[in-house]
Amino acid sequence: MIYRETGQFKSSYASDQAIFPIVQDRVLVLLGIAAAFVVPPLVANEYWLQAVLIPLLIYALAAIGLNLLTGYAGQVSLGTGGFMAVGAYSAFKFATSFPWLNIIVVFLLSGLIAAAVGLVFGVPSLRIKGFYLAVATLAAQFFLVWLFNKVPWFVNYASSGTITAPTRTLLGVMVTGPQASAEARYLVALGLVAVFALVAKNLVRGRVGRSWMAIRDRDIAAEIIGVRPMRTKLLAFGISSFYCGVAGAEFVFLYLGSAETLAFDINLSFLVLFMVIIGGLGSVLGSFLGAGFIVLVPIFLTNAPHLIGLPLPVALQKQIELMVFGALIIFFLIVEPNGLARLWQIAKEKLRLWPFPH
C-alpha cells in the first residue's frame, strides 16, 4: 500500500527517463545515501568500518567497472585484478613522485592510466569474442602482475617489494596512511563510489549504455543498424578499466595500507567476477549487492560458528568459503541468472501489489 505508483503520472519524457521514476524510490535512495554518509561514522565501530564497509565500497566500485564491461557490453574479462594493480601502482608512483598532488587527483590520474592500459588490452576484443576473449584477458592479468613484480621502479626500489600508501590529507583531515582514521577513509570511499555510481547510471541509461547492450545482445545486427563496434567496445574497456584502476588505488590507499602484487592476482579477478554474477550482470545496484554479499560471507563464516559454539579452524573456514562461493555461483546461474538485483526487483514488484497477491 505504501509502494503504490497510482497518481504518479509522468507528463514528460524527462521524468520517464529519470533514474528513479517512482517517487518512493527516489526518496528512499536519497535518504539511504544521506544515512550512509552520516550513520556509520557515528555509530559503527572500527571493525565494521575496516573489515566490512570500506572493502564493500571499494569492491563495489571495481564490480561496477567489471559490470559495465561484462554485464552491459558483454565482453568477458578475467583481467580485473591486473587493471586494479595498474591503478594501485600508478597511484603509488604519482603520490610518491608528486607529494603535493591532491589525493583525489592521484586517484583519478591512476584511473586514467588504467584506462589507457585497458584500451590496449581491449583491442583484441575487436576480433575475438566470448571465451577466447576471456583467455586473452588472462594475458593482461598475468603480464601486468609480472610486470609490477619484476620492475623495481614501480615499488620505488623497495627491497620488500611492497607499496605503502603515504599519508595524505583532504580538507585538513588525514585520509591515507597509517594514521588516517577509518571514518575518514570510509567517507572518501563512499564519496567516490557514489559519484562514480551516478556516472555509471548516466552512461547506461543513455546512448552509451544502449550501444553496449546492443553489442552484447546481437553484435552483428547492432553493427548493421549503425552501432560502431570498435568505438563501443573500446569505450567499454576504457571506462571499465578506469573504474577498476581507481578501485585498485583505493584498495591500497584506503583499505590495505600496503600491498604486494599477490593482492592483485587472478583470485581477485575471480572474486570481482563473482560479485558481478551474484549481484546481477547488467545492474549497477547489483554490483553493490554482489560486493556486499562477497564481503559478508567470510565474516559470517568467521562469526557464525562461534555463535553456535562450533569454532572452525582458519584453513577449514577458507575451504568452506571457496565451496560456498562456488556453489552459490552455480546456484545463482541456475535459479536467477540476473542475480540479487533481479531478486530485489521481484521483491519490489511484490511490494507494489502488497497486500494483494497479484
Partner 1 sequence: MPGAVAEEIAAPGTMTGARPEPLLRVEGISVHFGAVQALSDVSLDIQRGEVVAIIGPNGAGKTTLLNVISGFYHPQRGRIIFDGEDRTDLKPFEVAELGIARTFQNVALFKGMTVLDNIMTGRLLKMRGHFLLDAIYWGPARRQELAHRAAVERVIDFLEIQAIRKTPAGRLPYGLQKRVELARALAAEPQLLLLDEPMAGMNVEEKEDMCRFVLDVHDEFGTTIALIEHDMSVVMDISDRVVVLDYGRKIAEGVPDAVRADPAVIDAYLGVAHD
Partner 2 sequence: MIELLRSVLVAPFADMAGNLTFLTEVLFGGVAAGLMYSLVALGFVLIFKASGVFNFAQGVMVLFSALTLVGLMEKGVPVPIALALTLLAMVALAFVIERVVLRPLVNQEPIILFMATIGLNFFLEGFGEMAWGANVKKLDVGIPDTSFIVHGVQVNRLELTAALTAAVLVGILAVFFQRTKIGRALRAVADDHEAALSIGIPLKTIWVVVWSVAGLVALVAGIMWGAKSGVQFSLSLIALKSLPVLILGGFTSVPGAIAGGLIIGVGEKLGEVYWGPLVGGAIENWFAYVLALAFLLLRPQGLFGERIIERV
Q: Where are the alpha helices (DSSP H) in 205-283?
A: 207-217, 219-224, 229-250, 266-279
Question: With CB cut-offs between 5 and 8 Å by kind, which of partner 2, partner 1, none does residue 329 bind?
Answer: partner 2
Pairwise CA distance, residues 248 & 268, whole Å: 11
* H or E element in which residue 133 lies: helix 130-150
Write down the least CB distance from residue 184 to partner 2, Å: 35
91/214 with CB nearer partner 1: 214
Write down the least CB distance from residue 151 to partner 2, Å: 8
Question: With CB cut-offs between 5 and 8 Å by kind, which of partner 1, partner 2, none does residue 226 bind?
Answer: partner 1
Question: With CB cut-offs between 5 and 8 Å by kind, which of partner 2, partner 1, none does residue 210 bind?
Answer: partner 1
Write down the least CB distance from residue 115 to partner 1, Å: 11
Residue 103 to residues 97, 184, 237, 246, 286, Cα–Cα distance (Å): 12, 13, 24, 11, 28
Amino acid at 250: E
Q: Where does this chain bind partner 2 (CB under 8 A)?
A: 76, 124, 127-128, 130-132, 134-136, 138-139, 142-143, 145-146, 149-150, 220-221, 224, 266, 270, 273-274, 277, 315-316, 318-330, 333-334, 337
Residues 6+ away with beta carbon under 8 Å from 67: 276, 279, 281, 282, 283, 284, 286, 287
Residues 6+ away with beta carbon under 8 Å from 197: 60, 64, 284, 288
Amino acid at 207: R
Q: Are 285 and 32 in contact, with CB atoms under 8 Å apart?
A: no
52/138 with CB nearer partner 2: 138
Write down the least CB distance from residue 332 to partner 2, Å: 9
Looking at residue 175, the DSSP 8-state letter turns out to be E
Write down the least CB distance from residue 218 to partner 1, Å: 5
28/330 with CB nearer partner 2: 330
103/197 with CB nearer partner 1: 197
Write down the least CB distance from residue 38 to partner 2, Å: 38
Question: With CB cut-offs between 5 and 8 Å by kind, which of partner 2, partner 1, none does residue 21 bind?
Answer: none
Write down the least CB distance from residue 241 to partner 2, Å: 17
Q: Are 339 and 278 in contact, with CB atoms under 8 Å apart?
A: yes
Question: With CB cut-offs between 5 and 8 Å by kind, which of partner 1, partner 2, none does residue 131 bind?
Answer: partner 2
Residue 310 to residues 44, 297, 299, 307, 323, Cα–Cα distance (Å): 27, 17, 15, 7, 19
43/220 with CB nearer partner 1: 220
81 CB-side CA count, 13 A: 25
Cis omega before residue 41 (within 30°)?
no
Write down the least CB distance from residue 210 to partner 1, Å: 5
Amino acid at 271: L
Question: With CB cut-offs between 5 and 8 Å by kind, which of partner 2, partner 1, none does residue 206 bind?
Answer: partner 1
180/193 with CB nearer partner 1: 193
Q: Where does this chain bind partner 1 (CB under 8 A)?
A: 13-14, 17, 199, 202-203, 205-208, 210-211, 213-214, 216-218, 220-229, 235, 239, 282
182/222 with CB nearer partner 1: 222
